[in-house]
Amino acid sequence: MTSQVAILGAGVMGETLLSGLIRAGRRPEELLITERREERATELRERYGVDVVSNVDAAAKADTLVLVVKPQDMPDLLAEIAPAVRPSQTVVSLAAGITTGFIESRLPEGVAVVRVMPNTPALVDEGMAAISRGAHCDESHLELAESLLAATGRVIRVPEKQQDAVTAISGSGPAYLFFVVEAMIEAGVHMGLPRSTATELVVQTVVGSAKLLRETGEHPTVLRERVTSPGGTTAAAVRELEDHKVRAAFLSAIEAARNRSRALAAE
């Protein structure tokens, strides 16, 4: 029998993982999904050729259970699957804020739980995921989680106490960058550029800058200084950003995300 992976909750992140696993060569027969919304289940069954089953059937059949429901839906999902879960299975949770202890305490004793924080660039195989071990994990469980996430990008291991900060940085991070992109496009439109021109300029600038950061390994300050000619345009812009406390706003925003992650398990 083939080793099966079930994705429980196939919304944005569940589909991101599902599509990545299929791109990486997993056969639809090796995958199962569960989804509360019927029209969404039909859509994914047609798009990927995977079986859609109930949560209990997924828990009974699959070797690996990947939990991708919202943190607020996690208690009900765990209560539903707990009677079918066995200690030979591995449970991988992608939910923000939900600790391995929270999951372990609601499943049979001894089940290995791995906590993961992924992000949406996984959809184009440029994801960043951080994984942490629960109380009953050994190296094989971490490697299993790594092999799932490596299908869609990079994976690092972090102690679980860092996961709320990771969530605030790389989990939510794409949204901050899209926010900056929106603002830059808007600025171009304000100055009279056609929206399509502004969009092309901004998107390629973001992609190019990301590539420059990664490929040179230079510190961002050094790269920024290279763009900033004395008395020039960039210096004028950066001064405005500092005057408007954009750096401080990022610090507060990311701390707010970290605090929200901490609070989610208590809801």
Ligand X SMILES: NC(=O)C1=CN([C@@H]2O[C@H](COP(=O)(O)OP(=O)(O)OC[C@H]3O[C@@H](n4cnc5c(N)ncnc54)[C@H](O)[C@@H]3O)[C@@H](O)[C@H]2O)C=CC1
Ligand Y SMILES: O=C(O)[C@@H]1CCC=N1
Residues at the contact surface with ligand Y, assessed by CB under 6 A: 96, 167, 171-172
- Given the complex with ligand X, which of 35 and 104 has the nearer CB atom? 35
Q: What one-character DSSP code corresponds to residue 218? A: -
Is 6 marked as binding a ligand? no
Is 11 marked as binding a ligand? yes
Q: Is 260 in the site for ligand X (CB under 6 A)?
A: no
Q: Is 71 in the site for ligand X (CB under 6 A)?
A: yes
Q: Is 262 in the site for ligand X (CB under 6 A)?
A: no
Site string for ligand X, 118-137 (x = CB under 6 A): xxx-----------------
- Given the complex with ligand X, which of 132 and 198 has the nearer CB atom? 132
Site stretch for ligand X (CB under 6 A), options 44-52, 63-71, 148-156, 238-246: 63-71
Q: Is 154 in the site for ligand X (CB under 6 A)?
A: no
Q: Is 4 in the site for ligand X (CB under 6 A)?
A: no
Among 32, 50, 69, 78, binds ligand X (CB under 6 A): 69
Question: Minimum Å distance from CB 233 to ligand Y?
Answer: 34
Contacts of 153 (CB under 8 A, 6+ apart): 121, 122, 125, 126, 127, 128, 129
Among 7, 50, 59, 68, binds ligand X (CB under 6 A): 68
Q: Is 19 in the site for ligand X (CB under 6 A)?
A: no
Question: Residues of 155-193 as b/e, b for ≥16 C-beta within 10 angstroms?
Answer: beeeebeebbbbbbbbbbbbeeeeeeeeebbeebeeeeb
- Given the complex with ligand X, which of 96 and 198 has the nearer CB atom? 96
What is the sign, positive or negative, of the torsion defined by CA atoms of 211, 214, 220, 224? Answer: negative
- Measured between alpha carbons, how far is 235 from 64 in angstroms, rounded to an integer? 52
Whether residue 17 contacts residue 64, with contact meaning beta carbons closer than 8 Å, is answered with: no
Residue 191, classed as helix, strand or coil, is: coil
Ranges of H-type helices in 30-172: 38-48, 55-61, 74-81, 100-104, 139-149, 163-166
113 binding partner (options ligand X, ligand Y, none; Cβ < 5 to 8 Å by kind):
none
The phi, psi pair for 91, rounded to 5°, reads: -110, 125
Element housing 246 (H / E): helix 246-264
- Given the complex with ligand Y, which of 96 and 165 has the nearer CB atom? 96
Q: Which residues are annotated as a binding site for NADP(+)?
A: 8-13
